[in-house]
Structure 1
Amino acid sequence: MSLIEIIRAVFINISTNKVRVFLTSLGIIVGSFTIIMVVGIGKGSQADVEEQYKNLSVGTLYVMNTKGVKTTETLDFEDVKAMQEGNFSAIKNADIMLSSNVNVSYYDISYSSLAVGATKNFKEINSLELDYGEFINEYANEKKERVVVIGTDLAEILFEGGASEAVGKDIKLNGKKYEIIGVLKRSGNSLLGFSPDEGIILPYETAVKYIMNEKSSPKITVLVKDIDSVEEAKSEITEILNKNHKGKSDQFMIMDAGSRLVAAQESAATMTAMLISVATCVLVVGGIGIMNVLLVSVKERTREIGILKAIGAQRRDILLQFLLEAIIISASGGAIGITISVLIIPIIHSVGLSYVPSTYGYGLGFIFSVVIGTFFGYYPAAKAASLKPIDALNHE
């Protein structure tokens, strides 16, 4: 038989069993669709992670008390001064910060926010930019002035005119009046649980005097000169802590932003891989469905196979006919899965899920579909091809 005749026979059989073929391909459709969705959502999650950390230098270190360990030492300004003024080859800048939840109010509008006490270095170290006004300075810190810099989202919550109207206005933090001297540009970032977009920054000494309580634990943010100096900077920080805290550096932990980014990316990638495994299982089930249907088809078409062999059809012709049928069914299922995944993108975005369509996802879904169909279609095809003409013609 010629290849054209084989393909024609395949399409005739498919067209005469449309409903059965469609039901057979459902498993492939669902499986390929699931793989594409998982890859797209996985890439969307990774994009969200990168967006969240885009303003965070991988050369940023955080120093804080070790969690879960009873500590007698706390970080203070002396530690920061030692990092700023010491002759170190890896440390570029440092800042100390304290944080506490506060109630923010402006006339009849109130909001619960996180306030951070910091110095003028906070802006540079955390890659923050101002939209309006100015940042806190050294004078405000020394004089314990009641001034604040707020995030743009918080400004829009408190003021009808938004961030442009905030500078110069007085707000109350826990009932005490503070003047707004600056509004930050929206960053979308999160700094150890502090969102600059909704948060408040005030002079460190002001925060110590008016905002913080005995449970507040200072943290130090260190900016390293370059990414290759991270490990050296950790050693220098440990040396300072040992000197200032009489060898008790083990009561403090040093975290680097780069490891946080890598950990977040690895978590997203692991979740994606796990879900792809689940989708592959769905495809395998779909492949088993194709195998079962083709085995039934072989049984139903035994006499037809016998006639084909009797008039000269070779074993490879029968094998190719049934194998092509399996490949066409699985490929069609994969293509339908891709089409559905494209059509459903607006719905995914409307419910707030991050989804990034990709050629990789479409290719993976389609290739998996064809491979599964070919694998599970081979056995029925081989069984059909191995039938003896005389036995097939005598089959009832």
Structure 2
Amino acid sequence: MSLGEILRSIFINIRENKTKVFLTTLGIIVGSLTIVLVMAIGNGSQASVEEQFKRLNVGTLYIMPAFGRKKASLKLGIDDMEAIAEEVASISKVSMVINGNANINFYGKSTSSFVTGVMADYNGINNLELEYGEFISEDHSNERFAVIGYELAKLLFEDEEISNPVGEKIIINGKRFEIIGVLKYLGNSERGFNPDEGVFIPYEVAQRYITGKNPGPMIMTLAKDINHIDSAIDEITTVLQKRYGDKSDQFMIRDAGSSLESARNSARTMTLMLLSVATVVLIVGGIGIMNVLFVSVKERTKEIGILKAIGARRKDILRIFLLEAIIISAIGGILGIILSMAAMPILNYFNVRAINTMFGYLLAFGFSVLIGTFFGYYPAAKAASLRPIDALNYE
């Protein structure tokens, strides 16, 4: 039999059994749809992670109180930062950082915002870009100056005819602060803090008016380059041990590179887990195809006998049923991909970031065809192995 005759026979059978074929493909449709969406959500998670860390230098190191210490009585201070700056040769920048919440007011508009007290090197470590003005510098260390995030600026000044709010005064916890800069829009947050909605003020001013001296500050440093990260960690550990002895274990050192890799691994693990679920769905769909083909072989036993009697070879019968399984699964894969495209606006509505890629489409389609081929082969081989005389006498 020619390929054209085989395909004609297949499409006639599909057309005459549309409902059965549709129900057979449901598992494949759902499986391929799931694969595309899982890959898209995984890509969205990866992109979010990359964006979250893109403003940080890979050599950024955090020195902070260790987690899980019930009696962590020690707190980092400016003298610790100065010791690290003087004794650690592997770093190029260092800054104290302290966080707190405050009420922000501007002519009747009020909001609660995250406030970060920083020093001059903070921006050099974090690579924050400014829409207007300048960032906190050494000249501002004891002054009530503020740099505000883009979203906070929009909230406070949206009804004002102000394109550049630098020089305006805002009230933070009852104290008047002058705006000296506005950050460019970032669209991401890190460690629970969204710079777009936050305020940056000088470190000592934050201690005096916002946080007091009770909250535990953090020290941020920047290694000279990626090759100095390990040596910087070792040197900082030595400084802490020299200053605090056995109690130095109340502090820990984290690097941005490991945090980034950890976040990437978490996103990959979640994607693989969901992908395995999609694979199970496809396998169930493949079993459905196999069952339907077994029924089809039974129903078409006499047809198989007639085809063999008029000269159809064993491989022709094998091709008919195997290609039918592949075509059914391919149709299911294509329908699943189309439905995934339609599902994207729904994901966006629920603020789930998903990025479709050609690889996701090809993976879903490839899996669908592979499942159809794998589970379709045995029924096809069973049909091809029927003897003509048995098939013709089958009741």
- The two structures have a TM-score, normalised by structure 2, of 0.94
Structure 2 distance, partners of 1:270, 1:33, is: 20
Deviation at 1:189, TM superposition (A): 4.4
Q: Which moved more, 1:332-341 or 1:262-271?
A: 332-341
Partner of 2:102: 102
Partner of 1:244: 243
Deviation at 1:253, TM superposition (A): 0.3
1:8/1:106 CA distance change after superposition, 3 Å: same
Report if the CA contact (8 A) 1:132-1:164 is conserved: no
Q: Which amino acid aligns with 2:217?
A: P
Q: Following superposition of structure 1 onto structure 2, how do residues 271-310 of structure 1 map, counting pairs within 5 Å?
A: 271-310=270-309
Partner of 2:80: 79
Q: Where does the alignment leave 5 or more consecutive residues of structure 2 unmatched?
A: none
Report if the CA contact (8 A) 2:35-2:364 is conserved: yes
Report if the CA contact (8 A) 2:207-2:213 is conserved: no
Q: Which moved more, 1:7-16 or 1:47-56?
A: 7-16
Partner of 1:27: 27
1:15/1:139 CA distance change after superposition, 3 Å: closer
Q: Indicate yes or no: 2:364 matched with 1:365.
A: yes
Structure 1 distance, partners of 2:77, 2:380, is: 76
Partner of 1:92: 92
Partner of 2:382: 383
Q: Indicate yes or no: 2:267 matched with 1:268.
A: yes
Structure 1 distance, partners of 2:135, 2:308, is: 88
- The two structures have a TM-score, normalised by structure 1, of 0.94
Q: What is the SS of the residue equivalent to 1:264?
A: helix
Partner of 1:125: 125
Report if the CA contact (8 A) 1:315-1:385 is conserved: yes
Q: Indicate yes or no: 2:337 matched with 1:338.
A: yes
Structure 2 distance, partners of 1:195, 1:352, is: 17
Structure 1 distance, partners of 2:134, 2:2, is: 81
Structure 1 distance, partners of 2:163, 2:190, is: 24
Structure 2 distance, partners of 1:285, 1:195, is: 44
Partner of 2:56: 56
Partner of 2:354: 355
Q: Which moved more, 1:345-354 or 1:167-176?
A: 345-354
Q: Which moved more, 1:171-180 or 1:276-285?
A: 171-180
Q: Which amino acid aligns with 1:221?
A: M
Partner of 1:148: 146
Q: Which amino acid aligns with 2:290?
A: M
Q: Deviations over 1:121-150 (max 9, x none)?
A: 111111112222232332432xx3222221
1:162/1:347 CA distance change after superposition, 3 Å: farther
Report if the CA contact (8 A) 1:113-1:200 is conserved: yes
Q: Where does the alignment leave 5 or more consecutive residues of structure 1 unmatched?
A: none
1:184/1:3 CA distance change after superposition, 3 Å: closer
Partner of 1:221: 220
Partner of 2:111: 111
Structure 1 distance, partners of 2:389, 2:96, is: 90
Deviation at 1:372, TM superposition (A): 0.6
Partner of 1:157: 155
Report if the CA contact (8 A) 2:173-2:209 is conserved: no
1:163/1:298 CA distance change after superposition, 3 Å: farther
1:22/1:79 CA distance change after superposition, 3 Å: same
Deviation at 1:214, TM superposition (A): 4.5
Report if the CA contact (8 A) 1:152-1:163 is conserved: no
1:13/1:301 CA distance change after superposition, 3 Å: same
Structure 2 distance, partners of 1:190, 1:384, is: 60
Q: What is the SS of the residue equivalent to 1:99?
A: strand
Q: Indicate yes or no: 2:45 matched with 1:45.
A: yes
Structure 1 distance, partners of 2:161, 2:301, is: 78
Q: Deviations over 1:181-220 (max 9, x none)?
A: 2222223343433322111111111122222135310100
Deviation at 1:346, TM superposition (A): 4.0
Structure 1 distance, partners of 2:188, 2:285, is: 43
Structure 1 distance, partners of 2:26, 2:127, is: 51
Deviation at 1:32, TM superposition (A): 1.0
1:16/1:336 CA distance change after superposition, 3 Å: same
Alignment RMSD: 1.8
Q: Which moved more, 1:77-86 or 1:369-378?
A: 77-86
Structure 2 distance, partners of 1:7, 1:131, is: 63
State the number of aligned residues: 393
Q: What is the SS of the residue equivalent to 2:354?
A: coil
1:277/1:210 CA distance change after superposition, 3 Å: same
Q: Which amino acid aligns with 2:136?
A: I
Report if the CA contact (8 A) 1:287-1:373 is conserved: yes
Deviation at 1:310, TM superposition (A): 2.1
Report if the CA contact (8 A) 1:309-1:389 is conserved: yes
Structure 2 distance, partners of 1:162, 1:189, is: 27
Q: Which amino acid aligns with 2:72?
A: T
Q: Which amino acid aligns with 2:230?
A: E
Q: Which amino acid aligns with 2:153?
A: A
How high is the sequence identity, in percent, across the aligned residues?
Answer: 57
Structure 1 distance, partners of 2:139, 2:356, is: 51
